[in-house]
Amino acid sequence: MAFKPEKFIEEKIAELKEQVKGKALIACSGGVDSTVAAVLVNRAVGDKLISFFVDTGYMRKNEPQQIKEMLQDKGLNLHFIDAREEFYGALKGIEDPEKKRKIIGEKFIRIFEREANKVNADYLVQGTIAPDWIESGGGLRDTIKSHHNVGGLPKDMKMKLVEPLRDLYKDEVRKVARALGVPVAERQPFPGPGLAIRIMGEATPERADIVREACFIVEDEIDKAVANKEIERPWQYFAVLLPVRTVGVHGDVRAYGNTIAVRAVSSLDAMSADYSKMPHEVLDRISIRITNELKSKVNRVVYDITNKPPATVEWE
C-alpha cells in the first residue's frame, strides 16, 4: 500500500497528543529527521516541546543561522546553544577518528543533559528512523563506524523516549517533510559529527574554518553546475582537509600549504556509492576558487576517485 504522508501526519499527531502529557525536549540538528519529528510533536503539544539547537563549531558555513531561522519559522520553541568553544576544547589534541566521534557524541549528550536539567522535561523526542536502529543493532555498519545519533543515551535517563518516525524510511520522511512544508527535504546528507570528520587529524578551530570554506565552495560550484544543467546533482559532495602539507608556488615564492580532497558520489542508500564522473570544467572551477579564496592556506586540490566499497563516503 502506498505511503500517505497526510494520513500519517494526522494519525501521528493524534497519537502524540495521547502519548506526550508533559514537557518534552528535542535536539534539532536542522536535518530532515529531527526537524520533521520536532514539527510533528510541536503540532501535537505546542510550546510544551522545547527544541534545542547546538552549534558545535563543526557546522557548514551559515548553517547555524539558517537552521535557527528555519526552526523559528516553523513555530518551534527554540533554545539556541553556542557550544563551539566546548567542542573545540574537547577535541584538542585528538587525532583518532573513532575517538573524535565518541567525544563529539558524548559532549553532545552532556550538553544536552545540562540544558535538559534546566528545563526538567518528562519526554525526550528523537528523530530516529528505521535504518538508524536496524543498522545500529549490531549490523555490519555498526562495526565500521559508531553511529552518532543512537546508543549514546545515558543508561539512567529519566525522560521517556518518543520516536515518532521510528517506522519510516528516508523517502517516507521526505514525503512527510514536504507535506509539513519543512524546507529541508532536498538537502544532501550531512554526518552527525559534522565537519570534524572531514578534517583528518586534529579538528582545531582554524582547520574547521578551512574545511568549512572549502566545503562551501564545493557545494556552491556543484549547485551552480546542476542549475546550469552541466551535471546531475550528486548524492553528496564536499571537501576534506588532509593532514599533509605540500609544496607550491605563489608568484615566485615557495609556499608550503594544506591539501584539500574533493569528494562527490552518487548513491541510492549510502551502503554503496560511485564516485561522480565530474566534468573537468567543474573541477577546474572548484580548484581555482579553493586555491584563490584560501590562498595562504591551501595550495593543492585533489579529486577522490574511489567507490564505496572499498572506501567509505566520508574519509573518517
Q: Is 192 in the site for ligand XMP (CB under 6 A)?
A: yes
What are the grid coordinates assigned to 213, written together?
Answer: 570554506
Q: b/e per residue, 102-129, with b = 16+ CB within 10 A?
A: bbbbebbbebbeebbeeeebebbbbbbb
Residue from 100, 148, 263, 300 binding ligand XMP (CB under 6 A) = 148
Residue from 27, 125, 261, 270 binding ligand XMP (CB under 6 A) = 270
Q: Report yes or no: 214 and 260 within 8 Å, Cβ to Cβ.
A: yes
Q: Is 264 in the site for ligand XMP (CB under 6 A)?
A: no
Contacting range for ligand XMP; rule: CB under 6 A; set: 34-42, 167-175, 223-231, 308-316: 308-316
Helix (H) or strand (E) holding 217: helix 205-227
Q: CA-to-CA distance for 242 and 32, rounded, in angstroms?
A: 29
Q: CA-to-CA distance for 308 and 316, rounded, in angstroms?
A: 13
Task: Name which of 66 and 306 has its Cβ closer to ligand XMP.
Answer: 306
Task: Name which of 135 and 221 has its Cβ closer to ligand XMP.
Answer: 135
Task: Name which of 29 and 291 has its Cβ closer to ligand XMP.
Answer: 29
Q: Is 308 in the site for ligand XMP (CB under 6 A)?
A: yes
Residue from 191, 194, 234, 257 binding ligand XMP (CB under 6 A) = 191
- CB 192 to ligand XMP: min, Å: 3
Residue from 127, 164, 193, 257 binding ligand XMP (CB under 6 A) = 193
Q: Is 260 in the site for ligand XMP (CB under 6 A)?
A: no
Q: Is 195 in the site for ligand XMP (CB under 6 A)?
A: no
Residue from 61, 110, 147, 166 binding ligand XMP (CB under 6 A) = 147
What are the grid coordinates assigned to 139, written together?
Answer: 549490523
Q: CA-to-CA distance for 312 and 308, rounded, in angstroms?
A: 5
Contacting range for ligand XMP; rule: CB under 6 A; set: 50-58, 151-159, 185-193, 250-258: 185-193
Report the first-to-last Cα separation within the chain, whole angstroms: 39
Cell 572531514 belongs to which residue?
A: 198
Q: Calculate the alpha carbon distances from 90 to 28, 58, 80, 94, 101 in Å.
A: 21, 13, 20, 8, 11
Q: CA-to-CA distance for 133 and 149, rounded, in angstroms?
A: 10
Q: Is 35 in the site for ligand XMP (CB under 6 A)?
A: no
Q: Is 236 in the site for ligand XMP (CB under 6 A)?
A: yes
- CB 118 to ligand XMP: min, Å: 26
Positions touching ligand XMP (CB under 6 A) are 145, 147-149, 189, 191-193, 236, 270, 308, 312-314
